[in-house]
Amino acid sequence: MLAITCPGQGSQTPGFLSPWLELAGVRDHLEQLSERAGVDLVRHGTVSDEETIKDTAVAQPLIVAAGLVTARLLLEDFLLTAATVVAGHSVGELTASAVAGALTEDDAVAFVRVRANAMAEAAAETATGMSAVLGGDPEDVAARLAEFGLTAANMNGGGQVVAAGTTEQLASLAENPPAKARVIALKVAGAFHTRHMTPAVTALEALRPSLSPSAPVATLISNYDGRPIVQGQQNLDSLIAQVSRPVRWDLCMESMQQMGISGMIELSPAGTLTGLARRGMRGTASLPVKSPEDLDAAAAFIEEHSRTPDLDPSLIPEGSK
């Protein structure tokens, strides 16, 4: 059984889209997405430096666009059904929603445009950020985060928690890490998935009437609780709320294992989620699609892992049964 996953902010690297532009149709696709997103995705994906693409207003549309480009190339001849699981981490859930048919590509890009700008504005109000906490006893990690008033914004499984809060709170954590844990500052511009992003929720609620959500054709699982999304409006509710509440990728991985996933593929800019899967989904094959050179292997991987056992009916969206 196959899972298609879509990475979130922080997965982008300078120039990562350059090799994709050598393929027919990709430049036109990216230029169309750029117009809708209000961002020059071709430039930012090829020549912009690390500091430029770290900007939330740039990073989020860039990551979603990369996933949409990869998905179009990779899934052109593949029919998505409820037997395929789709999931995204943080902003990657927008990519996943488009891949699964719960949002049109136009709506996904319109959403990420508002999301990125609103989250950038919210991040500018207070100096905030995020740090990965690797290892340590889970109870000790939770206690230390609570001690400094930090939020566990991402529960990534495999002994990785991402703490979010003010720069002062994160500095205190770095100086006083939990026992047997490492604290690594992340290259993001704010405390995403916390109360600091509440203004972005308001901006996205204002966008809601212009969107046309649909029931997903694939099994789309929420990164809030790892459960399948049944209705388009349910997915939209979750996408809006997501910006100020924690991401539970650990629960997504648990659900994928319970569903019998044998292979997980990660769309560009790939690597982060397959890395987490190696620790949190042991025994499950994974393949990151990092460049066009990976497309042939990815097509074979999809064919191999699309031969699936029967799903537990309770895990399949009603609209897809």
- What residues act catalytically? 90, 193
Specify whether the CB–CB gap between 288 and 295 falls below 8 A. no
> Measured between alpha carbons, how far is residue 194 from residues 58, 61, 67, 154, 163 in Å?
20, 20, 25, 10, 10
Residue 117, by phi and psi: left (phi above 0), alpha (psi -120 to 50) or beta? alpha
Specify whether the CB–CB gap between 289 and 74 falls below 8 A. yes
Nearest to 66 by CA among 115, 130, 107, 8: 8
Please write down the long-range contacts of 277-283, taking CB distance under 8 Å and 24 or more positions apart.
277/253, 278/158, 279/157, 279/158, 279/159, 279/160, 280/156, 280/157, 280/158, 280/250, 280/253, 281/253, 281/256, 281/257
Structure tokens at 186: 């992340």
